[in-house]
Amino acid sequence: SQANFMRVIVQEASMDPSIGVELLCVVKAVLKKIKRRVLVGDKVLVGSIDWIDKRGAIENVFKRNSEMLDPPVANVDHLLVLFSMDQPKIEPYSLTRFLVEAESTGIPLTLALNKTELVSQEEIKAWKSRLRSWAYEPIFCSIESKRGLDTLQFIMREQTSVLVGPSGVGKSSLINALRGNKHILGAVEERNSFDPQILGSKWYEEQRVGEVSVRSGRGKHTTRHVSLLPLPDGGYLADTPGFNQPSLIKVTKNSLAHHFPEIRKMLKDSEPANCAFNNCLHLGEPGCLVKGDWERYPYYLQLLDEIKIREEFQ
């Protein structure tokens, strides 16, 4: 359902001092009519601006670079895949599913491994070289001991990031650690109603508007709202993590191989850089460049089976 209000940060304006100002905006009915949903992270054109009351109306949405549905955020340019060294331990097949799901969005990703203070230096070294053989360079961090948090902020600077990973690895803890300074508020926020206790009685009227639209049947009070938290070194992090259970819904049997960097590397290092068959599934076909001598090949086969079954029943 379409939110009634969106908080918009001014990035370009005819009046220079207005850069960085937050406007509370309604979404113009015309956008709703053509089912153009405004997402958090969208770049929008705002009109009817009242600079004193800091109000405006969203009139149009600019073309998106990317669009995530879980959580609903536009223009995400970085995924941070978070797992933990312990509690829970890394389960390689589960990690592979998350990495394949993340790769399938086409958005660049970083892998981070949390809770390093719970394990030995040897264990960290072992995972480092194991993941290097998967063609990933993980960042080791610990929210508990603050290890690696600077590196993570540096990687996320000037980008809009979304955190993904299974439950229990520390996603909420990381978001809260980076939220850090209490004065930082969500940069762009989607809400169906405003809590007058948080925002002051000035917003009471808007809250009633929200209730009216509920009665008219245009949607319920969805509790799900995403905010982009501004990070200290620049950039934004969505305060809601993404896919808890990778569905692999966008992955087809022919695209699966592209989501394994090991396969990408094997193909790139060959000349010519493709197997004899155009739609080779790398199952030992004649002229196939992909050998079976790498750790995750069995996972590739397992995922391929799963996707084949799904495609047969579609």
Nearer of residues 70 and 117 to ligand GDP, judged by Cβ = 117
Residue number with CB closer to Zn ion (19 or 273): 273
Looking at residue 132, its amino acid is R
Nearer to ligand GDP, 173 or 254 (CB): 173
Residue 7 partner contact from Zn ion, ligand GDP, none using kind-dependent CB cut-offs of 5 to 8 Å: none
Binding at 280: pick from Zn ion, ligand GDP, none (beta carbon under 5-8 Å per type): Zn ion
User: Residue 168 binds which one of ligand GDP, Zn ion, none, with CB within 5 to 8 A depending on kind?
Assistant: ligand GDP
Closest CA to 58 of 9, 16, 1: 9
4 binds, among ligand GDP, Zn ion, none (CB under 5 to 8 A by kind): none
Is 55 in contact with 25 (CB distance < 8 Å)?
yes
Which residues, including other chains, have CB under 8 Å from residue 188's CB and lie 6 or more apart?
Answer: 6, 7, 8, 9, 40, 41, 227, 228, 236
Long-range Cβ pairs for the range 18-22 (8 Å, 24+): 18/51, 21/51, 21/54, 22/54
Give the pair of three-digit tokens for residue 297.
């090949």
Task: State the nearest-atom distance from the C-beta of 284 to Zn ion, in Å.
Answer: 8
Tell me the closest approach of the beta carbon of residue 257 to Zn ion, in angstroms: 8
- Residue 106 and residue 104: Cα distance in Å, rounded? 5
Q: Of Zn ion, ligand GDP, none, which one does residue 275 interact with (CB within 5 to 8 Å by kind)?
A: Zn ion
What are the tokens at 209?
């508007």
> What are the structure tokens assigned to 60, written together?
């149009």
Contact call for residues 227 and 38 (beta carbons, < 8 A): no
* Nearest distance from C-beta of residue 83 to ligand GDP, angstroms: 9
Binding stretches for ligand GDP (CB under 6 A): 114-115, 117-118, 142-144, 165, 167-173
Closer CB to Zn ion, 280 or 307, in the complex: 280
CB of 122 to ligand GDP, least distance (A): 18
Of 237, 258, 232, 229, give the one whose Cα is nearest residue 110. 237
CB 284 → ligand GDP: shortest distance, Å? 39
In angstroms, what is the minimal distance from the CB of 279 to Zn ion? 9
The binder of 59, among Zn ion, ligand GDP, none, by C-beta within 5 to 8 A per type, is: none
| Burial class of residue 303 in the structure, from the number of CB atoms within 10 Å of its CB (0-12 exposed, 13-18 middle, 19+ buried) | buried
Q: How far is the CB of 15 from ligand GDP (least distance, A)?
A: 41
Q: Which is nearer to Zn ion, 39 or 275 (CB)?
A: 275
User: 22 or 117: whose CB is closer to ligand GDP?
Assistant: 117
Which residues are near Zn ion by CB under 5 A?
275, 280, 282, 288, 290
From Zn ion, ligand GDP, none, interface partner of 227 (C-beta below 5 to 8 A by class): none
Residue 155, binding choice from ligand GDP, Zn ion, none, Cβ under 5 to 8 Å by partner class = none
Closest approach, Cβ 78 to Zn ion, in A, equals 30
Which C-beta is closer to ligand GDP: that of 96 or that of 142?
Answer: 142
Q: Which is nearer to ligand GDP, 74 or 141 (CB)?
A: 141
